[in-house]
Structure 1
C-alpha cells in the first residue's frame, strides 16, 4: 500500500470537491497521513518562514533561552528540555490573531519586528485546515459540511499554533544517558496538522503496523490528523503514531521543519459522531471520554510535555461553561 499523495488544486471547484474530499478522507481513514499537491499556500511564503526560522535557531542560546514557552503557547524551548528529553529546538507561535503583538515581551527579540509575517502565514494555514475539515464532513456525508469546520474558530481560546522545529547538527554525539531521541513516537492531540519539511526524516506507522519514512516531495505539505478529530469522528478518521529517530536524522545532520496545529475552539465538547466505533480511546497516555472539551484535553497534554507553564492557578481558570458540540450521524459507505 503506497503512501497517499493527493492533488487538491481543484478543492474550490464544485465539479471536483466531492472526488477530492473522498480521496483525502480515504487516506485519513487508512493512514491518517497524506501528502498534498496543488495546495494554496505560496511556495515563496513557505520559503520565507524557513529562512527566518533557520536564522533564529542559529542564534546563540543566550538570545533564545530567556523566552521560554508560556501557557499561551508562545516562546522557545531548547534541546533536551521537553518531557521526552529529545534533541530538537522549538519556537512556538500560538495565540489568536494579534496575540503575537500583544505578547511581544514573551517573544525573543528576533521575532518582535516580524510578527505580522508570522500572523499572515498562520492565517493561510488556518484557511487550508478549514478546507480539509469540510472535506471530511462532505465525504462522511454529514448534513452540515461545516460540522467540523465551524468549531475551528481562529479567534477562540489560544488560537492555533505554528511550531518551528530544528534538529541540530552536531560535531560529536551528545551523551544521551537519561535522554530521548530526536522526537519520541506520539500522536498529535488536535484536529489537523500541516507539516512543512525541508528534508526527509519523519517516520510514520503504516496501516500494517510497520515504521516507514514519510516521503519528502518539494512543494507538498504533509498532513496528519490528531486525536481530538479521530475521537470526534468515532474513530473513522485515524490519528497515527509518528517519530524522528537518530537513524533517520543522525546527530551530525541538521533537519528543519514547521508544523501548524489546527484545533477546535476550547469550549468544543468532543462527542463521537454515531456511525463510528469507539470503545476506549487513549491519547498520549490519557483516556478520552465523551464530554471532554478540547481545552481540557489540550491543557492536559501540554502540561505533561512542558510542565508548569501550562498549569494555571485556580483563579486563572476559565469559568465559562463548555459549549456542547452538535451531534451528527455519519453515513458510512
Structure 2
C-alpha cells in the first residue's frame, strides 16, 4: 500500500472539496499519516523558520539551557533531557497568540526580537489545521462542516504549540541513551510536520515500520489520539519514531512540528451510533469516554516528558 500523497491546492473550491476531503480522510483511516502538496503556507516562510532554528541550535549550551520548558510549553529542552533519554534538541513555542511576547522571560534572548514572526507562522499553521478538520467533518458526513474546527479556536484555552527540532550529528553514538525519538502517538488533533530530510519512521497498515517520505514543498500530516478517540477510532493515530538505524548518529536532521489541539475543556465522546467502541489506548494509557482534551494531554505529556511540561 503506497504512502498517501495528496494535492490539496483546490481544498477551498466547492467543486473539489468533497473529493479532497474523502482522499484525506481515507488516508487517515488507513495510515493516520499523509503527505500534502499544494498547501497554502509559503515555502519562504517555512525556510525562514528552519534558518532561525538552525542559528539557534548552533548557539552554546549556556545560551539555551537556562530557559527550560515551562508549563506554558515555552522554552528549550536539550538532548537526553526527556524521560526516554532521546538524542534530540527542541525549542517549544506554546501558548495563545501573544503569549510569546508576554512571556519573553521564558525565551532564550535569541528569540526576543523574533516572536512576531513565530506568532505569524503559528497562525498560518493553525489556518491549515482548520481546513483539514473541515475535510474530516465533510467526509464523515457530519451535520456541521465546522464540527471539529469550531472546537479548535486559536484564541481559546492554552493555544497550540510549534516545536523546532534538531537531531544533532555526532562523531560517536552516545552510550546509554534511548533513541533519536521514542515511538509514540501524538496527543492532540492534527500535527503538521515540516522536514528538511527523511528520518521519521511510521508504523504502516501492514504492521511494518516504514520511513515516511520527505518531498520538497510538502508537509507531512498525522493525527493525534484526541481526534482519533473522538472519531470513534474511525480516524487513526499512528505510532511513529526516529531511530539510530534510520537516522545514524553522524547525520543531522531538522524538522518542525505544529501541534493543533482542541480547546482543553472539549469533552471527548466517541462519534459512534449504536456501536460499542473497544478500549482505546494512548501511549499505554487507557482513554475513557468523557475525558477532556486537557486531561488527556496532561496524561500523555506527563508519560513522555514528565510533569514539568504537563499543563
Mapping for residues 107-146 of structure 1, pairs under 5 Å: 107-146=107-146
Aligned residue for 1:207? 205
Q: 1:305 aligns to what? A: 304
**1:285 to 2:284 alignment:** yes
Segments of 5+ residues of structure 1 without an aligned counterpart are 313-333
Q: Which residue of 1 aligns with 2:237?
A: 239
Counterpart-to-counterpart distance in 2, 1:36 and 1:106: 34
Equivalents in 1 of 2:37, 2:84: separation in Å?
33
2:226 pairs with 218, 228, 237, which one?
Answer: 228
Other-structure match for 1:166: 166
- CA apart distance, 1:172: 1.9
Which residue is equivalent to 1:184? Answer: 182
Match of 1:324 in 2: none
CA distance in 2, matches of 1:46, 1:63: 24
Task: Look up the match of 1:331.
Answer: none
1:218 to 209, 212, 216: 216
Tell whether 2:273 aligns with 1:265: no
Describe the SS at the equivalent of 2:234: coil
Q: 1:310 to 1:51 in 2, by over 3 A?
A: closer
Aligned residues: 310
Aligned residues of 1:234 and 1:277 also touching (Cα < 8 A):
no
**TM-superposed deviation, 1:277:** 5.5
Partner of 2:15: 15
- Contact preservation (8 Å) 1:80, 1:86: yes
CA contact (8 A) 2:202 2:240 kept: yes
1:329 counterpart residue number: none
Q: Which of 300-309 and 16-25 deviates more?
A: 300-309
CA distance in 2, matches of 1:278, 1:250: 40
Instruction: Provide structure 2 residue ranges, at least 5 long, that are not aligned to the other structure.
Output: none
Alpha-carbon distance change, 277 to 258 in structure 1, aligned in 2, over 3 angstroms: farther
For residue 67 of structure 1, report the CA deviation from its aligned partner. Answer: 0.3
The Cα offsets for residues 236-278 of structure 1, whole Å up to 9 and x where unpaired, read as 0000011100011111110000000000000000000114662
The 5 A counterparts of 1:81-120 are 81-120=81-120
Structure 2: distance between partners of 1:146 and 1:109: 39
SS at match of 1:16: helix
Equivalents in 1 of 2:156, 2:61: separation in Å? 32
Q: Structure 1: which 4+ aligned runs deviate by more than 4 Å?
A: none
- Inter-partner Cα distance in structure 1 for 2:90 and 2:295: 23
User: SS of the residue aligned with 1:119?
Assistant: helix
Superposition deviation, residue 308 in structure 1: 3.5
Q: TM-score normalized by structure 1?
A: 0.91
TM-score (norm 2): 0.98
Deviations 1:61-119 (A, max 9, x none): 11100000001110000000001100000100000000000100000000011000000
